[in-house]
Amino acid sequence: MGRKITIGVLLLIVLIITNAIIGGVFVYFIQTVHEPKIDVEFNFSQITTDDMSFTARISMKNENPFDLVAKNVSIIGKTSQGDTIFDIQFVGGTIAGQQQRIFSSNETVSFTGDLSSKIYSSIQGIFGVKFAGIFEKTVPFRLNITASFQDLLHNISPPTLDLFAEVTDITEEGVLFHTIITVENPNFFEMFLENIITQVETETGTLVGEFSQIQGVISPKGTSQFHLNGTLLYDAVNAKMLTLQVTGNAGVHLMGIDKSIALSADAHLIVPNIKQLLFHNESLGITLSFDVKLRLRGFSTVIGLTLTNPSKIPIHANDLLCSFYGLTGENKKMIDQKSMEPTTISPGQQDHLQTQLFVPYIKIFTSGTKTIFPDWFVIQIDGNFSVAGVNQLIPVSLNATVNPHFLRS
């Protein structure tokens, strides 16, 4: 009986000593363990109006000569207000001694409203070591990091502009102008037109039209059109060349980030023809009348001119000259000539002008070339039509012929 007690006591003493030795060695061993070096990297691949895609990478380097075990590794991302926007879990594992291991995960996170350009993240988990394949010692760890999206927006592709412009009409206020600005957005997120200024200049740099700023949303990965109507000065019609200039910015307001890209585009315009603007498919109505009366010493002729204005603005008739001559073959012989008073024809109205010519008989009987009578008597009215403030003139020449046979009969 005493012998059995002695053996049991010896075994207990041996176990205590062994445990103390192992425990001491383990404590010493644990005290010499170096925590792994941890690096975290966020690679943002794409950002849209509603979500962002990125790859989260955790690099752990074990500088110990023995293996480390990583467990329950996760990254929790929060806004500056403390709202959690993602919780990424990583599969743990063993990190061999003097080796490096990378844990990665591809994620897409949806968001609404304004999100800060920075995410405040924490990496947490536990790592430990095994001793003699039996004992395991684990230590929790936590690392705080801040991720920024600013770098993602450094490579924004600028939108492209395409311009279409035309002069559509002319009124008493000026020359009506229409522009279509087509914007193509190659990015996955919305952009905004900001402080867009549209103006038209002549070849000398004279400003003939400047329009109010336009704003609007440029659809992601799409094309958006913006229409703009305005009025140009009459000087636009006097130019040799017109240039449409569009300048401004394309803005990004996303996840707390404000970024602007300068935009500009030019387009040359065809200077409109005043005749086409005024009359379109209609024409200026002109009627010529001729009345002759015999007098003692010659013919008294009254030449009338009726003008009809189909346009929307007043038209000025200037430099009107009435000529009466004889035409023999291709030879002209002037009989009489007289200016007519200028006039202004209101939109959609008529005006009648007339002038009187007195032609002595002697001029009638000597109006032919190498003959007494010409082949024809010709009444011709020349003049110019214009709009106030516009240098372009619409020349008009109107002829009427009279057969001189009534004088021979």
> How sure is the predictor about 184, in pLDDT bands with cuts at 50, 70 and 90?
very high
Q: How far is CA 166 from CA 13, 16, 203, 243, 409, in A?
A: 105, 100, 17, 11, 60
Q: For the chain, give the mean pLDDT.
A: 80
Among candidates 109, 37, 113, 45, which has minimal Cα distance to 76?
109
Q: Is the pLDDT of residue 26 over 60?
A: no
Looking at residue 205, its amino acid is G
What domains does the chain contain, in order, with CATH numbers? Answer: 13-154 (2.60.40.1470), 157-272 (2.60.40.10), 282-408 (2.60.40.10)
Those residues whose C-beta lies under 8 Å from the C-beta of residue 9, and which sit 6 or more positions away, are none
Instruction: Quote the longest CA-to-CA distance of the chain.
Output: 180
pLDDT single digits (tens) 30-44:
556 677 888 888 777
What's 407's DSSP letter?
Answer: H
Per the model's pLDDT, the better-predicted residue between 58 and 10 turns out to be: 58
Name which of 165-179, 271-285, 390-404 the model is least confident about: 271-285
Residue 309 tokens, joined: 């204005």
Q: Which helix (H) or strand (E) holds 324?
A: strand 315-328
> How sure is the predictor about 116, in pLDDT bands with cuts at 50, 70 and 90?
low
pTM attached to this predicted model: 0.62
Report pLDDT for 147: 65
Q: Is the pLDDT of residue 98 over 70?
A: yes
CB atoms within 10 A of CB 284: 18
pLDDT single digits (tens) 263-315:
899 988 888 888 877 777 677 777 888 787 878 887 888 888 888 888 888 88
pLDDT single digits (tens) 191-238:
888 888 889 999 998 998 877 778 888 888 889 998 888 888 888 888
Report pLDDT for 391: 82
Q: Is the pLDDT of residue 28 over 60?
A: no
Q: What is the C-alpha to C-alpha distance for residues 24 and 191, in angstroms, rounded to an integer? A: 65
Among candidates 122, 103, 108, which has minimal Cα distance to 44?
108
Residue 329 tokens, joined: 């073959």
> How sure is the predictor about 75, in pLDDT bands with cuts at 50, 70 and 90?
confident
Q: Is the pLDDT of residue 357 over 80?
A: yes
Q: Is the pLDDT of residue 132 over 60?
A: no
Q: Is the pLDDT of residue 59 over 70?
A: yes
> How sure is the predictor about 321, in pLDDT bands with cuts at 50, 70 and 90?
very high
Q: How far is CA 341 from CA 98, 320, 355, in A?
A: 107, 7, 9
> How sure is the predictor about 68, in pLDDT bands with cuts at 50, 70 and 90?
confident
Residue 355 tokens, joined: 């002038």
